Structure 1
């Protein structure tokens, strides 16, 4: 007789986009909405507290960087926890941490020190949400639309959250104070019961842990037309297990070149993103824009980032050439920022800031998917976490360096020069990622679809 052997990776990659996929995408989008909102709202605090708290430009940069230090810690640690203990529990823990410390920021952040400490602790939760949501959705998305689907889920939520922070900054903070940013952010508590009830475990993680009954149930939801087959088939076990330190596994010969290229690129990319987005409202006021317009630039960047990421993701899904397209996106973004060094006009400001969001942040969204696709299941969450963890070193330095340059030179032009050059460098370095590691169908298992056994 013939006993069917199910390769879970192939079943997921070949599936049609179903209601289950869209429901999961919506859940990840809600998660990353709060992540994007909480990540970018400190940019709208600087204007209100710099004077009362007696802050210099370098210290103002630390208001943004403090949360990113926590993000670095959370992103680095969460991947190991998620690969060892599961995606679901780790993601829920990150949302709890984010919600609790966002609320505490609204209640008790009344000085530079207390604000920075509470932002650092909030960042440890935020460091879980974006990278793990990226891992989650990449492990479930059909391969032919992986980038596009992940962008509609993860990137749309994150960009919408960043946009919402700008809207709240413009319309709520003048009358309700900067604390209103965090009161609204604490609404993530409403999401927690829903997440506990509906969030499934990643099927690829279930394969690694041999949790066969749960795998059958999830596959039946994803591909109901094959449910009868899953009920009796043999589930092929994960074969790519590792032992020892998962972070060191990323530096083994088969991954090393790609890992280093991704880490350096992420560092430069997030240096640009947070250096620019953290200071853009304040700098645009200095360039002669009105208060409302200046705060609106942050929202503009986030809106354009989603469009840019979606266009890039579609091109990658359709044509491949992911490294070259990523390099082009960062190169064009770098040129847009450098244009601000030479020209200061309202139309130029709007166009270049929109282009920076479209190309630089848009490319970062696709880099997250690029990273998830470059590694096998057993180290994927660690890989994405380390990409964003190392990148967060750049994110931490971006606002601080931008502030220090303004303080030293009494001008915002050196900030634009450093950010523009960093974007150009990111576009060049990603080309060194190993093509075979990224583009190969590494999740395919070498087992046959069915094996013959004696009756």
Structure 2
């Protein structure tokens, strides 16, 4: 029985719940770091007298780091293993986020956010492919969707921190940033016992190491382990970085990659056009800081049922159908924001957009690692996440320029249009992954 077959036969157990918690907490802190900037931005704008264009540049800084971190993490994880890259990424994020709390100028703040963003981007890109390789096709969709759902707890936590700490204190933004970084040290300590992916070890010729790890997992889950001949690992010769990237030139991988990139750019652009500017846009619309942050908590809280409802739909409807449904509903919600003319309609449309946008992310994080082969899975996920961050880099800058000219209707009309493009991409070109093992999905995709 192969390593993949043994993983497919594992029942869902305490081991998988531990993976879900330790991986999910990473996404929680990633969400916390990404969202807290939205609540810090009004304070920084006042502190350093920033224009909306400068504020947009500040908002894009972390996403530049995300781009570099996600791209490098995927390549390194396919070459050297998932676990070490994940651990170093989390350490980078912790250091950069902590340092940003003590910056005295917006230029140094940007540098720290780029550094922290590199760690966050690497962490986000590696967790889903790493953990999906431990999970059977019977529950992989709901598992990975629920894993991505931890982002929502980070966003809600950021909204609460912003509401409690920032409006009443000049230095509240520094305290908030410190509080987002310090708990990561504990998570690093908890993660030290996580094993390397057996699928990655097998693909790299380390059969005995993969067998040893799987025996421990099987023992913990009450499954008997088959006999394996004792032999030293014979790691295969690793391809160069250029050879690794050039493999994406094949027709099948090129089609998959372009479809996934289109989806990620559409979702990430729209997501950060909305969330990175939300408190600032509400203040510009006439809300007080406290009222704006209160609305933001309600809108961010809608993420939680959005993620976990999509996690359920990943199995009930399939990943492709879930993505198409939630993207279409997000388009309608964005149009509702564009046409809103009262506090009540802004709140309702914003909560619906938050619900469906984050449900879309639960589908994206489950879907992307599935459609690529094991030896390129992390690279593909990292590249997709990195390309998606281009949308996140452009969105804060573009909104900073667009809002003074087009207002709410222009911002959310653009968001609806970009989401519509993502909807067409998945409907027309996305393969179905439901009830297929990771090895079957790529093999069955047409040339």
Give the TM-score of the pair, scaled to structure 1: 0.89
Give the Å deviation of 1:367: 0.9
Cα separation, 2, equivalents of 1:365 and 1:297: 23
Aligned pair partner of 2:377 in 367, 380, 384: 380
Gaps of 5+ in 2: 442-447
* Runs of 4+ with >6 A deviation: 233-239, 436-439
Aligned pair partner of 1:269 in 267, 270, 273: 267
Aligned pair partner of 2:285 in 270, 287, 304: 287
Cα separation, 2, equivalents of 1:430 and 1:236: 40
Residue in structure 1 matched with residue 419 of structure 2 by the alignment: 423
Cα separation, 2, equivalents of 1:119 and 1:44: 15
- Structure 1, residues 273-296: CA drift from partner, whole Å, max 9, x if none? 011001111112233444334224
Residue in structure 2 matched with residue 103 of structure 1 by the alignment: 98
Contact 2:402–2:411 (8 Å) recurs in 1: yes
Aligned pair partner of 2:114 in 96, 115, 120: 120
Give the 5 Å matches for 1:222-233: 222-224=217-219, 225-230=222-227
Cα separation, 2, equivalents of 1:418 and 1:228: 55
Residue in structure 2 matched with residue 395 of structure 1 by the alignment: 392
Cα separation, 2, equivalents of 1:305 and 1:246: 36
Aligned pair partner of 1:48 in 23, 43, 51: 43
Give the Å deviation of 1:391: 0.2
> Structure 2 vs 1, CA of residues 201 and 302 (structure 1 numbering), >3 Å: closer, same or farther?
farther
DSSP-derived class of the 1:143 partner: coil
Give the Å deviation of 1:343: 2.0
Residue in structure 1 matched with residue 123 of structure 2 by the alignment: 129
DSSP-derived class of the 1:41 partner: helix
> Structure 2 vs 1, CA of residues 301 and 85 (structure 1 numbering), >3 Å: closer, same or farther?
farther
Aligned pair partner of 1:37 in 13, 32, 36: 32
> Structure 2 vs 1, CA of residues 227 and 14 (structure 1 numbering), >3 Å: closer, same or farther?
closer
Give the Å deviation of 1:235: 12
**Are positions 1:145 and 2:116 aligned together?**
no
> Structure 2 vs 1, CA of residues 355 and 231 (structure 1 numbering), >3 Å: closer, same or farther?
same
Aligned pair partner of 1:366 in 363, 374, 388: 363
Give the Å deviation of 1:324: 3.4
Give the Å deviation of 1:41: 1.2
Give the Å deviation of 1:236: 12
> Structure 2 vs 1, CA of residues 350 and 415 (structure 1 numbering), >3 Å: closer, same or farther?
same
> Structure 2 vs 1, CA of residues 444 and 271 (structure 1 numbering), >3 Å: closer, same or farther?
closer
Gaps of 5+ in 1: 1-5, 446-455
Aligned pair partner of 1:404 in 382, 401, 408: 401
> Structure 2 vs 1, CA of residues 136 and 308 (structure 1 numbering), >3 Å: closer, same or farther?
same
Give the Å deviation of 1:438: 8.1
What's the RMSD between the two structures over aligned residues? Answer: 2.6
Cα separation, 2, equivalents of 1:274 and 1:181: 20
Residue in structure 1 matched with residue 445 of structure 2 by the alignment: none
- Structure 1, residues 300-357: CA drift from partner, whole Å, max 9, x if none? 444323322322232231233x323312211211211111222222221221111111
DSSP-derived class of the 2:101 partner: helix
Cα separation, 2, equivalents of 1:146 and 1:437: 10
Residue in structure 1 matched with residue 149 of structure 2 by the alignment: 156
Give the Å deviation of 1:377: 0.6
Residue in structure 2 matched with residue 259 of structure 1 by the alignment: 257
Cα separation, 2, equivalents of 1:438 and 1:375: 14
> Structure 2 vs 1, CA of residues 236 and 274 (structure 1 numbering), >3 Å: closer, same or farther?
same
Residue in structure 2 matched with residue 7 of structure 1 by the alignment: 2
DSSP-derived class of the 2:138 partner: helix
Residue in structure 2 matched with residue 451 of structure 1 by the alignment: none
Give the 5 Å matches for 1:302-317: 302-317=300-315
- Structure 1, residues 208-238: CA drift from partner, whole Å, max 9, x if none? 2232333223222332333342566999999
Give the Å deviation of 1:167: 0.7
**Are positions 1:217 and 2:212 aligned together?**
yes
DSSP-derived class of the 2:58 partner: helix
Residue in structure 2 matched with residue 450 of structure 1 by the alignment: none
How many residue pairs get aligned? The number is 435
Residue in structure 1 matched with residue 444 of structure 2 by the alignment: none
Give the Å deviation of 1:192: 2.1
- Structure 1, residues 377-421: CA drift from partner, whole Å, max 9, x if none? 100001111111000000111111111102344x23211111121
